[in-house]
Amino acid sequence: MAEVALQPRRISVLQSSARRLFSGSSVSPCRFKRLALSAVALAILLSGTACRERQTGAPNSSASAEKTIENKGSDTLVNLALAWAEEYMRKNPEVRISVTGGGSGTGITALINGTAQIANASREMKEEEIRAARANGIEPKEIVVARDAIAIVVNPSNPVGSLTMQQISDIYTGKITNWRELGGENRPIVLLSRESNSGTYVYVLENVIRMGNPKSRLLFSPDTLLMPSSEGISTEVRQNPNAIGYDGLGYVTPDQKVVAVARDSSSPFVLPSIETVNDGSYPISRPLYMYTAGEPEGQVKSFLDYLLGPGQKQVSKLGFVPLR
């Protein structure tokens, strides 16, 4: 417990106040002294309580609690969300925003359970997630906050520099297992993917492996290595000359080789960029979402208004595609 030193002058003021309070009454001198000392003790206790609140940063009102925003979910969005939060808190120092990753599914679960005010997601909420939210009295509100291209990446030493969507699907389902089948060296293909709670995993499964066909039941090959983060894929691709992976454009590093992708064998091969996402020529792009529990209000609404407005300047700085 922090020690609180009360200055002699303040004690004197308290004693004087006590004299005024009890002047003209029948309080005995001994009892007066005890009352005065009690007043000093009470002042010390209150000062100590205030000091502890300042030291721990513990909120002392519901208004303080309302100024804390828990923002959780997509690892694709986490760096962008952190940049938004840092800039917003600089301009609004009374607000605290806690940003954590863990995957889109993790963030959506936190929103449903009431432990996050904003869920970051690189995919849309699933029907079963929406039903679970409604069962908890939550009507999810979807907000598109940016756009992203998913880059197909290989080791820089790999001579393969272009793939069609069908070839990527065949690689990840295990139909194509050797780089020689694609014009590369006689080496086995090492498959890298995000884990299944990742929104990027879900997007690649539905839109790349299954080629957008809702009736398809194709799955990732059981030989696929599931990585816990985008950084995990980047590290493995950098170290393994046989690896292939996918990542949000904002996570691509110079020590990875980005593969040009064509919609089909008769279409041009296109590299991902802000321009090719905007003109629609790059075939693997998607919106990025934030979800709230109903219509956003208070500081949550103010934060979202910021990131949809002036905060869009941060989007292209981090390799994502702004809304305008």
* Domains defined for the chain, CATH in brackets: 63-146+292-317 (3.40.190.10), 148-285 (3.40.190.10)
Say yes or no to pLDDT of 292 above 70. yes
Dihedrals phi, psi of 72, to nearest 5 degrees: -140, 150
Say yes or no to pLDDT of 67 above 60. yes
- Sequence-separated (6 or more) residues with CB below 8 Å from residue 316: 274, 322
* Structure confidence at residue 136 as a pLDDT band (50, 70, 90): very high
* Structure confidence at residue 54 as a pLDDT band (50, 70, 90): very low
pTM metric for this prediction: 0.76
Say yes or no to pLDDT of 107 above 80. yes
User: What percent of the chain has pLDDT above 90?
Assistant: 78
Nearest one of 275, 282, 257, 280 to 322, comparing CA atoms: 275
Average pLDDT, rounded, for the chain:
85
Contact 147, 313 (CB under 8 A): no
Tell me whether residue 23 is exposed, middle or buried, using C-beta atoms within 10 angstroms of its C-beta: 0 to 12, 13 to 18, 19 or more: exposed
List the end-to-end C-alpha distance of the chain, in Å, as a whole number.
53
Contact 74, 121 (CB under 8 A): yes
Average pLDDT score over residue span 287-313: 98
Report pLDDT for 291: 99
Q: Between 95 and 56, whose confidence is greater?
A: 95
Helix (H) or strand (E) holding 52: helix 29-56
Give Cα 298 to chain centroid, integer Å. 20
Average pLDDT score over residue span 284-308: 98
Report pLDDT for 218: 98
What DSSP state is assigned to residue 157?
T
What gap in Å lies between CA 262 and CA 271, rounded to an integer?
9
Report pLDDT for 241: 98
Contact 250, 150 (CB under 8 A): no
What DSSP state is assigned to residue 207?
I
Q: Between 4 and 276, whose confidence is greater?
A: 276
Contact 163, 261 (CB under 8 A): yes
192: left (phi > 0), else alpha (psi -120 to 50), else beta? beta
Q: What is the pLDDT of residues 142-151, one digit of tens each?
A: 999 999 999 9
Say yes or no to pLDDT of 244 above 70. yes
- Sequence-separated (6 or more) residues with CB below 8 Å from residue 275: none
Report pLDDT for 324: 84
Q: Dihedral (C-alpha) 203, 207, 212, 218: value to the nearest 10 degrees? A: -90
Average pLDDT score over residue span 186-195: 98
Report pLDDT for 66: 59
Average pLDDT score over residue span 278-303: 97
